[in-house]
Structure 1
Amino acid sequence: MIATPYRFGISEFTTQPWSFDEDVERYARLGVDTIEVVEAKLDPDRFAEQMQSIGKAGLAISGVQPSVRTFFSSRMKPDPQGLNDRITALRGSIERLSRYAPGVPFITNTGAHPTGDMADAMRVVGDKLGELAKVAADNGVLLALEPLNPSSVNIESAIWTIDQALEVIDRSGSETVGLCLDYWNIWQNADVAAQIARAGSRIFTVQASDWRTPHSFADRIVPGVGDLPLAELIRATRKTGYDLPYVVEVFSDNVPDSIYDLDLEQVVSDCKQGFAAAWAASET
């Protein structure tokens, strides 16, 4: 196998129909370097064994998607409803899984503010991230806030730009809190390369996929087959000195030609090839 100058990862959301155990075995066999763990795929009775199986398979962990990852309720995870209950659940995920993923970012986003009050959402989430950062630091992990695409505003998120996310991160007052940079979500931000540059060392994890005009808020495609300027975004990210994994995260829910209906081993291989081509193009 030819070594690449980056570490390539797959989010378990990309292979939603597979079980956690299938993800680990198949990612390793297909030459994936890292896995973005989706807690909802873990068996509550076997999670310790399953988390330990990752390293045994030769994979590293790039990030953790907690079962409850938004501060306010969201369409993907509407319950529990209360802010404090959601924070308690997120704290529980950190305390439960951090020992198996030291130094890894736990990915969060704001959720949808119940009245659509963006200013209040940014204030509340910034403050609560600051409190939760102490828990993360005590457990040896990080928190990564993800701004989502405008198609998710008031559904999954109250923020949609890198600069908005950085404002919330700054409000947290903690170096333990950084950015989850998902290209699908931010590629249409104004002056996106400059925003990536401002994020700099606060980028804790990067996610990639590709764009077509979506049929739903969760309609993404394999890197290299859509309209997203992936090479330009990778180039801007590399200029910041980012040297952590690049993770392909594809959602394909409620669409007529879902990748979840395809040969997922081929999908993973196509993701590897598409990202490799974009990386090569980023060097020109």
Structure 2
Amino acid sequence: MNNINKIQPFPFPIAISEFTTQPWTFEQDVARYAELGIAMIEVCEEKLDSQRYKEQMSMISAHGLSISAIQPLVRTFGSSQMTPDPKDLGDRVSRLRSSIESLSPFAAARPFILNTGAPEKGDMAAMVKTTVLELQNLAGFAADHGVSLALEPLNASSMNSESAIWTIAQAMEIIDAVNRDNVGICLDFWNIWQNANVEEEIRRAGDRIFVLQVSDWRMPRSFGDRLVPGDGIIPIGKLLQIVHETRYTGACSVEIFSQYVADSLYKRDLYEVIRRSRKGLEDAWAQIH
């Protein structure tokens, strides 16, 4: 049988980040992702009730889902626009450790996603230095709890409000300096697709890619203005192919923010947003295969 024109199946399990379905509750996310045939969930701690962690997290496997990654409530060392409090570094690290301690029993071997946070008074060098030191300290704690840490470089539009790094190369410099097996990178196409030499940098990241996130780009009109995969201008298929060539075997998580815009996806049928997102990923892959 001639298989030359046979379409290769999508190479990664598809996950949905709970940020994509912000209007839904955690319970609705779990039930509805399962209903839609989604394999994995990227858990956002902000949707959890700290008094009901065990009950809520048990719902994931009960619905036939598995966890792709965890977005802790406090995920930056410096204060950030999304999570401004607590202000003190020690308090932020303590809160992050608490998240790892509480959620790791349900997320064995899964990555917790972090980024630097905003540099105080624009001092990016100091924020990077702090991030290296804190990741070195946190890596052992995470390893003791059987989980990993994924550092995420954010888009340049988030500089000085959420992050001190905006390229894969900058993130990898930190990861190389930390030099711990359980510290890698969270690769979000929306954040990095405009990086110089992006294809080469993805290849260099290689087996340090712990998380893959996808949405699509138009010139943002707010801090949260992302599109369903396939509706924008990111060369998603080409970038997916490069990630696949690194032998990454984790999930491909759809992470869409859609806030402070008149045509917010959060106001639409979120079932359809998920269906279209999955189709957009599959179509992008099929176009290059």
Deviations 1:127-146 (A, max 9, x none): 10010001100000000000
Checking the alignment, whether the CA contact within 8 Å between 1:234 and 1:282 is kept in structure 2 is no
- Tell me, in whole angstroms, the C-alpha distance in 2 between the residues paired with 1:81 and 1:10: 30
Task: Report the counterpart of residue 231 of structure 2 in structure 1.
Answer: 225
Match of 1:193 among 199, 210, 214: 199
Q: Deviations over 1:12-32 (max 9, x none)?
A: 000000000000000001011
Q: What are the superposed Cα offsets for residues 166-188 of structure 1, whole Å, 9 maximum, x if unpaired?
A: 01111212111000000000000
Deviations 1:8-53 (A, max 9, x none): 0100000000000000000001011100000000112211111111
Counterpart of 1:180 (choices 167, 176, 186) is 186
Give the alignment's TM-score, normalised by structure 2.
0.96
Letter in 2 for 1:247: S
Deviation at 1:255, TM superposition (A): 1.0
Mark the runs of 5 or more structure 2 residues left unpaired by the alignment: 1-8
Deviation string, structure 1 residues 63-93 (Cα, Å, up to 9, x no partner): 0000000110000000000111101100000
- Residue 83 in structure 1 maps to residue 94 in structure 2: no
Deviations along 1:145-203, one digit per CA (max 9) or x if unpaired, are: 00000000001000000000001111212111000000000000001000000000000
- In the TM superposition, what is the alpha-carbon distance from 1:242 to its structure 2 partner? 0.7
What one-letter code is carried by the residue in structure 1 that aligns with 2:45? Answer: E
1: CA distance between counterparts of 2:35 and 2:223? 31
1:100 and 2:101 are equivalent in the alignment: no
User: What is the aligned-residue RMSD (CA, Å)?
Assistant: 1.1
Measure how far apart 1:232 and its partner are: 1.2
Aligned mates of 1:173, 1:267 — CA distance in 2: 39
Counterparts in 2 of 1:112-131, with a 5 A limit?
Answer: 112-131=118-137
Task: Give the aligned partner of residue 26 of structure 1.
Answer: 32
Q: In the alignment, residue 78 of structure 2 is paired with which amino acid? A: F
CA deviation after TM superposition for structure 1 residue 59, in Å: 0.6
Once residues 53 and 271 of structure 2 are traced to their aligned partners in structure 1, the CA distance between those partners, rounded to angstroms, is 24
Please tell me whether the aligned partners of residues 162 and 195 of structure 1 are also in contact (alpha carbons under 8 angstroms).
Answer: yes
Shift of 1:4: 4.6
Match of 1:153 in 2: 159
- Give the TM-score normalised by the residue count of structure 1: 0.97
Match of 2:117 in 1: 111
CA distance in 1, matches of 2:49, 2:95: 16
Q: Is the 8 Å Cα contact of residues 147 and 186 (structure 1) preserved in structure 2? A: yes
Give 2:219's match in structure 1, choosing from 213, 219, 224.
Answer: 213
- C-alpha contact (below 8 Å) 2:136/2:180 kept by paired residues: yes
Q: What is the DSSP-based 3-state SS (H/G/I as helix, E as strand, rest coil) of the residue aligned with 1:179?
A: strand
Correspondence for 1:252? 258
Kept in 2, the 8 Å contact 1:159–1:165? The answer is yes
Q: CA deviation at 1:208?
A: 0.1
Contact 2:34 2:64 in 1 (8 A): yes
Deviation at 1:281, TM superposition (A): 2.2
- Residue identity (%): 54
| CA deviation after TM superposition for structure 1 residue 282, in Å | 3.6
Q: Which residue is equivalent to 2:43?
A: 37
Aligned match of 1:164: 170
Contact conserved, 1:127 with 1:171, CA < 8 A, in 2?
no
Q: Which runs of 4+ in 1 moved over 3 A?
A: none
